[in-house]
Amino acid sequence: MSHETLIELVTSIRQAAMRPVVLVSYVREYFSTVGGLRFTLDRQIEYTALNRHFGSTRAHRDYTNVLELKVPLDVDYSSATKEFSDLRTRFSKYCQAISALQG
């Protein structure tokens, strides 16, 4: 995404009648291997629903730990992740928050 496109997106969001509906908090740890691979580990994930005044209405603790491999842009993603292909899953903290806080 270009810098100009990002500015346009942020501007359109600010002009729309949008407001935050959920707060996601977590503890993140950073790791790297001697071979240069980098990982992040997210834990103690908590989702909090927000009302129109940004007050908390309910919260949910997620006991999932999320380990993510960070692949540099100049490295082929497929070759970097081939050793981990059986562990690959999609995990969106935002989507999990919306699902956990429905109702």
Give residue-wise pLDDT tens across range 50-90.
Answer: 998 888 999 999 999 999 988 777 777 777 777 776 776 78
Place of tokens 């935002």: 94
pTM of the model: 0.73
Distance between CA atoms of 26 and 22, rounded to whole angstroms?
13
Query: What are the structural domain ranges in the chain?
Result: 20-100
Backbone conformation region of residue 44, classed left if phi is above 0, alpha if psi is from -120 to 50, else beta: left
Q: With pLDDT > 70 as the criterion, what percentage of the chain qualifies?
A: 95
Give residue 59's pLDDT: 95
Across the chain, the runs of DSSP E, i.e. the strands, are 22-32, 38-50, 56-62, 66-70
Give residue 47's pLDDT: 97
How far is C-alpha 20 from the geometric centre of its chain's CA atoms?
15
CB 60 within 8 A of CB 45: no
Q: With pLDDT > 90 as the criterion, what percentage of the chain qualifies?
A: 44
Give residue 103's pLDDT: 63
